[in-house]
Amino acid sequence: MTTDVEQLALDWRKRLAAEYPDQNEAARQSIILWLLGSDSKRFDLFNPKELDIAKQAMEYRWRILRQRYLGLGRERAYRNLITRLGSLVTLRNKIQTWVALSRDRQRSVMDILQAVLQELLQTDAYMQQQMADIAKYTTDRRLRDALLFASVEEYCLRPIRNQPLLAYRFVNYLRRTQRGGLTQVPGRDLIRLLSEEVLTDNNDNRVNLS
């Protein structure tokens, strides 16, 4: 008898083979593992309503990956991420207000956004686990980047009290920088945010974004 997670994996395998025949089987399997998540056995414990919600969440993640990141080079994919997150009206208003009131008015919204993302990747337990999992799913660097960017977007857009999670991360960033000074992210090199050590295969999965 086929379990729920086995059926999900089978359905996605058929779908990806039909929608992306040019991708090799290994890449499609990596995407399926990413969609299912590290705790795939949880699907077999869901009731029908919970399973339906989980399927919708997978569809949402897949749409993000396909529309903005899959198959693109790192720089273009990263710019897509920054553009998407920078388009959040609530977040932009918060950042613009802070910049206008701060002593450092030369910093742009994108400068601040990159710094907030840097802190997110360095300190957030969920994103640390996502990076560790992605490193296990595939050794293809372009696919790793695509999965990471899609994971960051999905996580940052999660609603918390009618605001995206990233807006709250920005508030936390402000509290920290007011105590210890601003984190500088060179505007001339967007990809510096994701250095060669973002995704590693070592045991402690250290992340070096400086």
pLDDT tens digits, 134-159:
999 999 999 999 999 999 999 999 98
Evaluate if residue 163 carries a pLDDT over 80.
yes
Give the residue carrying structure tokens 């009290």.
Answer: 161
192 in Cβ contact with 80 (< 8 Å) = no
188 — pLDDT class (breaks 50, 70, 90): very low
The percentage of the chain sitting over the pLDDT mark of 70, rounded to a whole number, equals 75
Note the pLDDT of residue 57.
93
The answer to whether residues 95 and 192 belong to one domain is yes
The answer to whether residues 183 and 146 belong to one domain is yes
198 — pLDDT class (breaks 50, 70, 90): very low
77 in Cβ contact with 149 (< 8 Å) = yes
The answer to whether residues 172 and 93 belong to one domain is yes
| Of 44, 68, 92, the domain-final residue | 68
The answer to whether residues 14 and 58 belong to one domain is yes
Give Cα 30 to chain centroid, integer Å: 16
The answer to whether residues 207 and 104 belong to one domain is yes
The answer to whether residues 56 and 136 belong to one domain is no
Mean per-residue pLDDT over the chain, rounded:
80
How far is CA 125 from each of CA 37, 62, 132, rounded to the nearest angstrom? 15, 22, 11
Note the pLDDT of residue 193.
41
The answer to whether residues 32 and 125 belong to one domain is no
Give the residue carrying structure tokens 């686990």.
Answer: 129
d(CA 138, CA 30): 6
| Of 19, 51, 68, the domain-final residue | 68
Tell me the average pLDDT across 97-103.
Answer: 63
The answer to whether residues 60 and 100 belong to one domain is no
Note the pLDDT of residue 90.
65
102 CB-contact burial (10 Å; exposed 0-12 / middle 13-18 / buried 19+): middle
What is the DSSP annotation of 128-172? HHHHHHHHHH---HHHHHHHHHHHHHHHHT-EETTEEHHHHHHHH
d(CA 136, CA 30): 9
The answer to whether residues 97 and 33 belong to one domain is no
The answer to whether residues 86 and 128 belong to one domain is yes
Tell me the average pLDDT across 74-78.
Answer: 92
| Of 48, 68, 88, the domain-final residue | 68
The percentage of the chain sitting over the pLDDT mark of 90, rounded to a whole number, equals 45
Which domain covers residue 107, as residue numbers?
73-210
- Among 14-28, 84-98, 189-203, name the most confident range: 14-28
The answer to whether residues 20 and 114 belong to one domain is no
Evaluate if residue 8 carries a pLDDT over 70.
yes
Considering its fold, how many domains does the chain have in total? 2
Of the candidates 196, 200, 74, 80, the residue with the CA atom closest to the CA atom of residue 128: 200
How far is CA 121 from each of CA 3, 44, 52, rounded to the nearest angstrom? 34, 31, 30
The answer to whether residues 87 and 7 belong to one domain is no
- Among 40-49, 119-128, 172-181, name the most confident range: 119-128
Evaluate if residue 71 carries a pLDDT over 80.
yes
Evaluate if residue 180 carries a pLDDT over 60.
no
87 — pLDDT class (breaks 50, 70, 90): confident
d(CA 52, CA 150): 21
Strand, coil or helix: 206: coil
